Amino acid sequence: MSGAGWRHRAPRAAALVAALAVLAGGAVLAVRFGSLVGGAGAGEAARAGLLKLQFVPGADAERTLEVDQALAWALQRARPGPAGVALARGDGGAIRWRVSFATGGEATVTADGDLWSMRLPIPTDPGSELPPGLVRGFALTSLPEFVRDPAAWQPVTTQSWSEGTRRYYRVRFVGDAGSLPASWRRELEIEIVGPRVVSVRRTVFPLSTDLGVVNGRLYELGVLRLPALIGLVLVFLGALLAGAEAHAFHGRLAIGSGTVVAFLVAALGYGAGAARSTTVILALAAGAVIAVLPTFTELPPGRAAVGPVVGTACFLLVPNLQVVVEGLGGWIPETRPFVDGPSVWRQLHRAWTPALVEEPLLRGVAPGIAAPVFGWWGGALLGAGIGALLHPLPAVPLTAAFAAELVMQAAMVIAARAGGVPAAVLARGTFEALANRPVFPDGTWFDVTAMIGPLLGLGLLLWSRRNS
């Protein structure tokens, strides 16, 4: 190879190697970090818990995820960093799996696999009734079966009632904060029929300041989402008018691409079980926007391979933002919002629907409309501002939430500038899929779904390299 040829090729080869390293790094990090909600050992943990109560459950069990989102974030707010996440998975009981056995009996276990609550079918013959004076002592002797620190728990009340011929007892224990933040409180209730424990239930009462901050921020972000939605609607109306004008003057429209994207969005919404009306509206809007994109001639040319690389790089950057905010005395949650009824379709929906619906509007239409007045970058800034208000996490101070979102939006702007709207769509989808991986359960398919972006990036990079 001649020296000139080498000098020409070396920077491109270095860029390719760097891009591949970013993709591989992001993929490895996402898989290594794994899932926060766990779920693999939930069935066994529940079975073991029920066996402690001398109940043998059947083989068939249904597993559902239960997340108290506000409690999980309140724990993270009280204990910033990984400690808060660990509490949400464990002693805080914010992330739990409910395992219901087909033969009766159910138990909930935390994401860490600790028993949280249990309920047995009422035995037909529970045995002779305990004398009332012995109930509290019986409950105290049963306590070590259900908690790791029985000494921290004190019985406070004992209730009793009759149903038919049976007499039920409920003993309520109050525990100290334990591993939870100071001023948080734990409670536990044990229900007894005859000489058997039939139900155990734990509850965590958070300090109202922690819960209040999270709830307050959630409400406030909901209020601040309104101007962003208005902005999106206005941008969409602009796109519609531009499309109609282009149609009147026989301008170029991407009807085929629009149709494909509309079908994709509809399929994602249908698969994930999203509301049908919302899915239809989003699909039509996304299709219409993609169809009119060619009328905005200021858009940069398409180089889709840039997208997954930028998206993965953004994913590598985001955890550092949390460290910076916490270093400055603020707080941002470590985890993204959890999903009700997680599935692979929902994982795809959460990552790729915002990418397909929002990115063409924010990175394509908004700069296209605003370019004559503000220039492309001005329009991109407008789009980033609107986007930053759409999905921020509750943070302290509130501006930190928007700052973090703005960094992500800026990365998408860079992707759009370098590789066009397709690159921005791929970047957003890649980022969302990787960043949301921890809130989906253990499982190979969840890993593979999170990997779609980096794998696409790898394929596109190698393909473009081969073509060049």
Nearest Cα to Cα of residue 74 among 440, 329, 321, 394: 394
CB closer to another protein out of 73 and 101: 73
**Backbone torsions φ then ψ of 64, nearest 5 degrees:** -130, 145
Sign of the C-alpha dihedral computed for residues 49, 53, 59 and 60 taken in this order? negative
CB closer to another protein out of 238 and 429: 238
Which residue, chain included where needed, has tokens 């302290």? Answer: 396
Closest CB 6 distance from another protein, rounded Å = 51
CB closer to another protein out of 103 and 183: 183
Kindly state the tokens that stand for 363: 């990175």
Closest CB 211 distance from another protein, rounded Å = 5
Closest CB 369 distance from another protein, rounded Å = 7
Crossing angle of the two packed helices 344-359 and 398-436, in degrees rounded to 10? 120
Closest CB 212 distance from another protein, rounded Å = 4
CB closer to another protein out of 238 and 308: 238
CB closer to another protein out of 216 and 256: 216
Maximum Cα interatomic distance, the chain, rounded to a whole number of Å: 97
**Backbone torsions φ then ψ of 459, nearest 5 degrees:** -60, -45
Evaluate whether 379 touches 367 at the Cβ level (below 8 Å): yes
Evaluate whether 444 touches 28 at the Cβ level (below 8 Å): no
CB closer to another protein out of 78 and 313: 78
Closest CB 89 distance from another protein, rounded Å = 21
Kindly state the tokens that stand for 78: 């009280």
Kindly state the tokens that stand for 120: 């047995």
Closest CB 219 distance from another protein, rounded Å = 5
**Backbone torsions φ then ψ of 440, nearest 5 degrees:** -110, 155
Distance in angstroms (rounded) separating the CA atoms of residues 448 and 48: 31
CB closer to another protein out of 117 and 295: 295
CB closer to another protein out of 57 and 206: 206
Q: For the chain, how big is the Rg over CA atoms in Å?
A: 27
Q: Provide the pairing of β-strand 95-101 with 185-193.
A: unpaired
Nearest Cα to Cα of residue 421 among 279, 268, 306: 306
Closest CB 227 distance from another protein, rounded Å = 4
Closest CB 296 distance from another protein, rounded Å = 14
Closest CB 65 distance from another protein, rounded Å = 21
Nearest Cα to Cα of residue 434 among 317, 264, 274: 317
Query: Which residues here bind another protein, judged by CB under 8 A?
Result: 70, 208, 211-212, 215-216, 219-220, 223-224, 226-227, 230-231, 234, 237-238, 240-241, 244-245, 248-249, 369-370, 373, 389, 398
CB closer to another protein out of 198 and 406: 406
Distance in angstroms (rounded) separating the CA atoms of residues 8 and 381: 34
